[in-house]
Structure 1
Amino acid sequence: MSTSHNILSIAGTDPSGGAGIQADLKAFSALGGYGMTVITALVAQTTTGVTEVHEVAPEFVTSQLDTLLADVRVDAVKIGMLGTTGVIAAVAKAIDDYALPNVVLDPVMVAKSGDRLLATEAIEAVREELLPRADLITPNIPEAAELLNVPPAADEASMARQGEELLRLGPGRVLLKGGHLDGSSSVDLLLEPEGAARRLAAERVATNNTHGTGCTLSSAVAALRPQRPGWYEAVHEAKEYLTAALRHADELDVGHGKGPVHHFHAWWGGRG
């Protein structure tokens, strides 16, 4: 019997390969998953910023999903950039219609360059239609603040409080990422309905090449969840993978801005 796992990314593109579906496919492959994609937006983007976004019609997003899901088993789903309320509704319907498992939602709102990737009016749709359907959401501190309409967390204690508030909106679990805080370590908090928040700390890697970190972490979790006994194990290993990808990021020479992490560091230059 096959032990392969099919992992679906529903997200926008990044021609530079550091974020979006391109990053998702790299992370899936690096971690032993068979990657598939449904495109929600065509983004003209590099390491220095976004110049244009071409939104895919919700009807065509639905067509992509229906065509794929009628044929291929899906073991986990990573949801990234959706852009509009229509696309959000199309994805929410597919989750219900096909009972999609292991749904990881990265609520992408703003690119690393500061360019907005989610219409302001669509935040409420994410809140109401997608959060309750997600098994895990992976917001960073600014994204959590937007979802809750509150100021960004300034420390771990306020991160934990905001994580609890996000749980009340309906997701199965919250991984609140603390990379925007200062300190020698980068601390994320995993919150579940039962038990205290679990703290995941890793070294803060000194590099300018951080393009696609959020996409990479969420896709790594999606790839690992079908292979691991629980969500904590998948999240813990995904964070270790991202830390190593950041540690090796300066070995790449891609663009003049914030370059990508090194998704294939373990194959190109020895395990680290």
Structure 2
Amino acid sequence: MRKIYVVGIGAGDPDHLTLQAAKAIGRTDVFFLLDKGETKASLVELRERLIKGYSQPRKRIVEGRDPDRDRTPADYTGTVADWRHRRSLVLEELIAAHLKDGETGSILVWGDPSLFDSTIAILEEILERGETVFEFEVIPGISSVSALAAKHRIGLNRVGQPFQVTTGRRLAEGWPEGVDDVVVMLDAQHAFTGHPEADIYWGAYVGTSDELLASGRVGDVADEIVERRTAAREEHGWIMDTYLLRRRPTR
């Protein structure tokens, strides 16, 4: 039986790699990389650095082209489902062609595979088609959310209180009910600016040499965050950021 590890490699700092992840990389025969293009070359470079540092000499690296998708679709859910399907076809072709019986493959996932990543769902879709057979194991990693909290030296929740992880798209529809602490990812429209009295703990490229951090009352730091975020995206061609939005206690 062929086996595939889905390995969480952390938010960007090579030291985020866990011992479990390092051991999985060391047992891997074939690494599968999906190239996202020149503007996101740094995402591939970190993976290659970790492979070089922890893998066995006889390992192989195979690459496929990550399909493009519309970033501002009218049908967001349908567009993402179509993109995942096309990704599954690319990955299935790579697995079928390059992973031999009895070998182990690995897919190195930014952050943690369980949070805002499609790799697990894509592998399940491949298995459901029944044409390419393998087993897979998920290795957890340090997420951008946990790295953000560590950088700001804060907890994500307050005593006895829940928090919610959501997207900028959903936050723009209104503050989630029943929570005062909201972790937001994928906020291209700067939805946090609609909550000037809340506190924000923001970070971009957390754990990398390009790391950006800001915190304070939204009304005081929103312009700074928007300016820094816009400039960083123009410089790098992409941005990976997240933030905690926290309501202040009422008296």
Query: TM-score under structure 2 normalisation?
Result: 0.28
Larger Rg: 2
Query: TM-score under structure 1 normalisation?
Result: 0.27
